[in-house]
A and B are shown apart, each in its own frame.
Chain A
Amino acid sequence: MTANALLKSVAFYALVAVIVLFSVFPFYYAIVTSFATGTGLFEINYWPKQFSTANYEAVLGGRTFPRNILNSVFIATTTVVFALFLAVTASYALARVRFRGRALLLMTILGVSMFPQIAVLAGLFELIRFLGLFNTPWALILSYTIFTLPFTVWVLTTFMRDLPVEIEEAAIVDGATPWIIITKVFLPLLWPALVTTGLLAFIGAWNEFLFALTFTSSETTRTTPVAIALLSGASQQEIPWGPIMAASVIVTVPLIVLVLVFQRKIVAGLTAGGVKG
């Protein structure tokens, strides 16, 4: 290896190191902070010095945070199931049946996924009050449909479009109705796509903040992002950084595990919408 090539490869790995450090450091530092208490919290430590679980005990032993976690799990799961159920049949129609206005319909669905959420906030607020759902999980399940449904329909449509025509033709020749085709022929083939879109929709619902902040009003109905954002100490001036970091780590670790386990599927799902064609 010449000196020049060596220099190049050193520079390359230095760049790689910077990228990794920059990506991982803030989360690493949150973990370090979450294990520190008392005065240890206000010393700047680059390496973990304390290992106290006091912050975790404070958060998990508190009155509301465990409840907030349950809320988030329930809301995100129900939202995903609801969106996938509606999206599977709809995307079959969009991907497999030729009809007039199909392209326009697809563009409209994509348009809805780009909606600024604030633009529907006033109208949704009225609807939720009208239905009597204010301050219940159903208010959030209903409103999260606005971003999970278009997205799942869009991604499932692109996946379904790529499935071979022959399978469907064979089923039609055998006299299968469209409903049979979806449930018996396509659904088994769609599992990987369903996992991907389901995961992405779950992450979206788990992380959502604006609707959750606006449509809940009591501590026990909040989801975890709202709880973390509004976590306050004994006085206004005193921000409880230790418990905040512990709560942050608690809600983030499951997501990071999920993302790392399903890495390939998630990358495929993220890019399926935009970069095809």
Chain B
Amino acid sequence: MTSANSAQAGAGLTLLQQRQRAAFWFLAPMLLALFCVAAWPLLRTVWFSFTDTSLNDLYGGKWIGFDNYLSVRTLESGRVIYRGTLVDPAWWNAVWNTVRFSVVSVTIETVLGLIVALVLNAEFKGRGLVRAAILIPWAIPTIVSAKMWAWMLNDQYGIINDILLRVGAIDQKIAWTANTDTAMYAVLMVDVWKTTPFMALLCLAGLQMVPRDIYEAARIDGVHPVKVFFKVTLPLIRPALMVAVIFRMLDALRVFDLIYVLTPNSAATKTMSVISRENLIDFDKFAYGSAQSTLLFVILALFVSLYIWLGRVDLSGEGGK
């Protein structure tokens, strides 16, 4: 902007209008970028889900309405045939796996995260060291942690089986990731290990905002620490906790890499993201996979809206001001 230009603009516009105009130009590149990588691809995915597009011929798809979701056909014999994702048992299995994984993992992570945060909120020697240690699982790439745990959970040479055998918790080696009964436990174990630090840090930030004199007052009044936790601490950190839970929940509902690497092709752990990608890319059912990813998006959007509405969560960060 040259000085002559701004002087001219300044003549007719108030300072506020001038700033708003500048703000528009500052926002435009960011909005354009987000439109290109988020809004437009999302719209295209939804569009593909109503066509019969295939991976090798992206522009040859015809509009087929809701057939990828559900199509009902009545044969001459009078038999009714339902097809589409909404009657696909593999899809509902994936939905169930995703929900089970998300609810269980986020619950465990919240409880453990709170415990770790309470420990870190106490003053003791070596606190910095502990905080550094819990950051390690967070810093390790998901793929690497999946591989590390796959090795530790190996049925023949894995250290987990060895430890459990020595302790006497099991009497024969378990094929953790291959066995359909234990595959989900394996995935949960790794996820809890990997993301509890994140929960702990968010909880800790909430705990540090609780004024210390509250604890002092409770101690002088002789209130039991457990009661203080449930009656004072927990309500005070509830807003921080609610935000942490929704961030984790959204991450868990779209989980892909951990499951893809740790338990490949296991129906016991296949989630919505995994099955969508499988159809999109590997099975050449591009439109069908688009329908599944659209459904995943709708489920997530509904969940977030419901959560924010019911929990009255303030995500904007402007509420307190």
Q: Is the CB of B133 within 8 A of A23?
A: yes
Q: Give bound CA distance, A112 to B273, whole Å.
A: 17
Binds A, one of B103-111, B179-187, B250-258: B250-258
Is there a chain B Cβ closer than 8 Å to A74's Cβ? no
Is there a chain A Cβ closer than 8 Å to B321's Cβ? yes
User: Closest residue to B308 on the A side, CB-wise?
Assistant: A107
Give the B interface residue count (CB, 8 A): 105
Q: Is the CB of A252 within 8 A of B133?
A: no
Q: Is the CB of B30 within 8 A of A118?
A: no
Is there a chain B Cβ closer than 8 Å to A73's Cβ? no
Cβ of A190 to closest chain B Cβ, rounded Å: 14
Q: Which A residues between 117 and 154 are near B, CB-CB below 8 angstroms?
A: 117-127, 129, 142-143, 145-146, 149-150, 153
Cβ of A206 to closest chain B Cβ, rounded Å: 7
User: Closest residue to A123 on the B side, CB-wise?
Assistant: B41
Q: Which of B124, B143, B254, B277 contacts A207 (CB 8 A)?
A: B143
Q: Give bound CA distance, A94 to B30, whole Å.
A: 11
Q: Give bound CA distance, A274 to B205, whole Å.
A: 10
Q: Which of B38, B116, B276 contacts A112 (CB 8 A)?
A: B38
User: Closest residue to B21 on the A side, CB-wise?
Assistant: A178
Q: Which A residues between 244 and 277 are near B, CB-CB below 8 angstroms?
A: 244-245, 248, 251-252, 255-256, 258-260, 263, 266-267, 270-271, 273-277
Q: Is the CB of A256 within 8 A of B297?
A: no
Cβ of B214 to closest chain A Cβ, rounded Å: 18
Q: Is the CB of B317 within 8 A of A158?
A: yes
Is there a chain B Cβ closer than 8 Å to A116's Cβ? yes
Is there a chain B Cβ closer than 8 Å to A44's Cβ? yes
Q: Give bound CA distance, A275 to B187, whole Å.
A: 28
Q: Is the CB of A122 within 8 A of B290?
A: yes
**Complex interface: chain A residues within 8 A of B147 (CB):** 228-229, 244-245, 248
User: Closest residue to A127 on the B side, CB-wise?
Assistant: B41
Q: Is the CB of A93 within 8 A of B138?
A: no
Q: Is the CB of A15 within 8 A of B296?
A: no
Against A, the Cβ 8 Å flags (1 = close, 0 = not) of B205-231 are 110010000000000000000000000
Q: Is the CB of A149 within 8 A of B34?
A: yes
Is there a chain A Cβ closer than 8 Å to B168's Cβ? no
Is there a chain B Cβ closer than 8 Å to A114's Cβ? yes
Cβ of A49 to closest chain B Cβ, rounded Å: 14
Q: Is the CB of A172 within 8 A of B15?
A: yes
Q: Which of B34, B36, B43, B314 contacts A277 (CB 8 A)?
A: B314
Q: Which of B44, B126, B247 contacts A126 (CB 8 A)?
A: B44
Q: Give bound CA distance, A145 to B253, whole Å.
A: 21
Q: Is the CB of A275 within 8 A of B34?
A: no
Give the A interface residue count (CB, 8 A): 97
**Complex interface: chain A residues within 8 A of B20 (CB):** 97-99
Q: Is the CB of B162 within 8 A of A44?
A: yes
User: Closest residue to A21 on the B side, CB-wise?
Assistant: B133
Q: Is the CB of B141 within 8 A of A116?
A: no
**Complex interface: chain A residues within 8 A of B90 (CB):** none
Against B, the Cβ 8 Å flags (1 = close, 0 = not) of A200-226 are 000100110110011000000000111
Q: Is the CB of A271 within 8 A of B205?
A: yes
Is there a chain B Cβ closer than 8 Å to A109's Cβ? yes
Q: Is the CB of A120 within 8 A of B23?
A: no
Is there a chain B Cβ closer than 8 Å to A179's Cβ? yes
Q: Which B residues between 1 and 54 are near A, CB-CB below 8 angstroms?
A: 1, 6, 15-16, 19-20, 22-24, 26-27, 29-31, 33-34, 36-38, 40-45, 48
Q: Is the CB of B26 within 8 A of A178?
A: yes
Q: Are A129 and B34 also in contact (CB < 8 A) when A114-B300, A114-B304 are?
A: no
Q: Are A143 and B144 also in contact (CB < 8 A) when A89-B26, A97-B23, A122-B45 are?
A: no
Q: Which of B124, B139, B247 contacts A274 (CB 8 A)?
A: B247
User: Closest residue to B319 on the A side, CB-wise?
Assistant: A277
Q: Is the CB of A118 within 8 A of B42?
A: no
**Complex interface: chain B residues within 8 A of A51 (CB):** none
Against B, the Cβ 8 Å flags (1 = close, 0 = not) of A38-75 are 00011010100000000000000000000000000000
Binds A, one of B70-78, B80-88, B195-203: B195-203
Q: Which B residues between 280 and 321 are near A, CB-CB below 8 angstroms?
A: 280-281, 286, 289-290, 293-294, 296-297, 300, 304, 314-321
Is there a chain B Cβ closer than 8 Å to A185's Cβ? no
Q: Give bound CA distance, A15 to B300, whole Å.
A: 36
Q: Give bound CA distance, A250 to B264, whole Å.
A: 24
Q: Which B residues between 148 and 181 are near A, CB-CB below 8 angstroms?
A: 148-149, 151-152, 154, 156-159, 162
Q: Are A19 and B42 also in contact (CB < 8 A) when A121-B293, A143-B37 are?
A: no
**Complex interface: chain A residues within 8 A of B261 (CB):** 209, 229
Q: Is the CB of A16 within 8 A of B130?
A: yes
Q: Which A residues between 18 and 33 are near B, CB-CB below 8 angstroms?
A: 19-20, 22-24, 26-27, 29-30, 33
**Complex interface: chain B residues within 8 A of A30 (CB):** 144, 148, 151
Q: Is the CB of B130 within 8 A of A225?
A: no
Q: List 15 A-B contacts (CB under 8 A).
A: A20-B133, A109-B34, A114-B300, A116-B293, A117-B254, A118-B293, A126-B58, A129-B58, A146-B37, A207-B143, A210-B273, A244-B147, A267-B131, A274-B202, A276-B317
Other CB < 8 Å A-B pairs besides A12-B122, A259-B138, 5 of them?
A: A20-B129, A123-B45, A149-B33, A210-B256, A229-B261
